[in-house]
Amino acid sequence: MLPRLAASVAGLLAACATSPAPRATPDPSVLIGTWRVDLRPTPDADPYFQEFVVDDVADGLRGSFYGTAIADGRINGDWGALRSE
């Protein structure tokens, strides 16, 4: 079963830290897989899903979203969280 996320792509990849104390950076390999992203504009709108596929994170992020290849995505692990750029 694909994880269901009601968030933007940035929110999908952000594991926001709530404490100013340094935290261990999560292993980016946890992002590898197929994610089901709900892109509806408001919570009461009809669901609108697209697949976000992460194939590799060894040297940046590679995969696809909305039918378009992601070839040179960057992963930011500062502040103990993962974020895409």
How does pLDDT run across 8-36, given as a tens digit for each residue?
444 444 444 444 556 677 788 888 999 99
Whether residue 51 has pLDDT greater than 90: yes
What is the pTM for the complete model shown?
A: 0.60
Count of structural domains within the chain: 1
- Cα 84 from Cα 66, distance rounded (Å): 16
Domain that holds residue 69: 4-84
Higher pLDDT, 59 or 25: 59
Whether residue 55 has pLDDT greater than 60: yes
- Cα 16 from Cα 34, distance rounded (Å): 21
- Cα 69 from Cα 46, distance rounded (Å): 26
So what's the pLDDT on residue 13? 45
Specify the DSSP class assigned to residue 59: T
So what's the pLDDT on residue 68? 94
